[in-house]
Structure 1
Amino acid sequence: MKSITIKGSERESVGKKATKALRNAGKVPCVVYGGEKPLHFSADELAFKNLVYTPNAHTVVVELEDKKKVRAIMQDIQFHPVTDKIQHIDFYQLFDDKEVTLNIPVRLEGNSPGVRNGGRLLFRNRKLTIKALPDNLPDFFKVDISKLKIGDNILVESLESDEFSILQPSTTVVVQVKTARAAVVVDDEDEEGEEVEGEVTAAEGAEETTEAAE
């Protein structure tokens, strides 16, 4: 998995007054858990841009002024309710021999023949939660939909690996193609296909958009 380096300064004071002063200076107070004791540090808000504002998953190397480096993953983040500025970030320290839990994004590749024939592509799970050793964390799951016909789906079980455990049940649907009115159902022996009676109304189109977002 790709790593992002965050350069920061260890915090000597963690009180409310010191925390407010950091935020006023454009810095984000953070803490790394999982080691012998919590590590409190701060860094410029811009330093977290490629970590927070992306659908991708990353590990982090926290690099402090005394050349201390800590490998971690982001566990929790708090935003200001009005300005949406980052208020605080919790990290969890990584160790080579300890498994961690992380959400990994799913990427679809290819063009579904079922969609070309008028079916609806429903992306049910855009992220999957896995448990793995740090060195076995994948950047993303690649899901090929180029063979998905109307009525087909791809389940979690097809993405399982010996290098990690997926915490969702193996029967969980990741992506599927559902029949829509006016869809063309093509059998292997019938290249022409059969048109399903009816038309897609504007309301059904809105329903499709809503379901796809779920």
Structure 2
Amino acid sequence: MATKTPVLPAGKRDKSVLAKNLRKQDMVPAEYYGHGVENLSLQLDYQTFRKVFREAGENTVIDLKIEGIGDKKVLVQQVDRDPVSNEYSHVELINVRMDEEVTTHVPIELEGQAPAVRELAGVLVQNLDEIEIRCLPGDLIHGVTLNIEVLVDFQTSLHVSDIKLPANITLLTDPELMVATVQPPREEEIEEVAPEAAEGAVQEGEKAEATESGADAKEAGGE
């Protein structure tokens, strides 16, 4: 069953309106661009964009319906957020052609539980959290998974080459790069005092106390 393409309505932005004033109207400014197309400044309904972006992410083709211009196929290229409110402050939409390949990054998700963590108390370390791929827009994927059940000791590791991709997707990341491994637990350095040293310390302490007591007695007698 084919997945329904998300639809995102948009209007041309009046550049005389400041971006901060646009946001007060529950709109978010956006830029539309791409190879062989005219760059357009747009405005999107904030709540509609949030819903579509939550559904589509950055690796799903969106039907951008620009009022007065027509429909465009786009990908969300970049989303900026306000550092204080964390709300969307600006969006970049890139035009795509369904018959031309695109390049993008997709996240790596580790699944399962590593025996070296469960049985040897090791620490799982993920060295790489995304890979770069190239494919047609209609073949894009949201991410890849890598099972870590094979990490049975501290010498075993998983690499990009262990990731299985569909035949219609080209991997651009170096396949030799390490993705995940398990490191030995960090041993706490505990300095233990040897019994002989401890006994010597006690004896020295007793001698010191005895010397101080004798000195005090002499002073008392002199008085």
Root mean square deviation, CA, Å? 3.0
Of 157, 162, 176, 1:158 maps to 162
| Count of aligned residue pairs for this structure pair | 183
Q: Which amino acid aligns with 2:63?
A: V
The residue that corresponds to 2:109 in the other structure is: 107
What displacement does 1:12 show?
5.0
Bigger mean CA offset, 159-168 vs 92-101: 159-168
Contact 2:13 2:43 in 1 (8 A): no
1:171 aligns with 2:176: yes
* TM norm structure 1: 0.71
Q: Show CA shifts across 1:69-116 (max 9, x none).
A: 322112122233433332211111121222212221112222211111
Cα 1:97–1:178, aligned 2, differ >3 Å: closer, same or farther? same
Contact 1:106 1:128 in 2 (8 A): yes
Q: Show CA shifts across 1:44-72 (max 9, x none).
A: 22223356569964323223445933221
Q: Which amino acid aligns with 1:157?
A: S
Unaligned runs of 5+ in 1: 182-198, 202-214
Q: How does 1:1-214 map to 2 (within 5 A)?
A: 5-11=6-12, 13=14, 15-17=15-17, 19-34=19-34, 35-50=36-51, 57-59=58-60, 60-65=62-67, 68-117=70-119, 118-150=121-153, 151-159=155-163, 161=165, 162-181=167-186, 199-200=187-188
Tell me the distance in 2 between the aligned counterparts of 1:200 and 1:48. Answer: 50
Between Structure 1 and Structure 2, which shows a larger proportion of strand residues?
1
What displacement does 1:141 show?
0.5
Tell me the distance in 2 between the aligned counterparts of 1:130 and 1:63. Answer: 27
* TM norm structure 2: 0.69
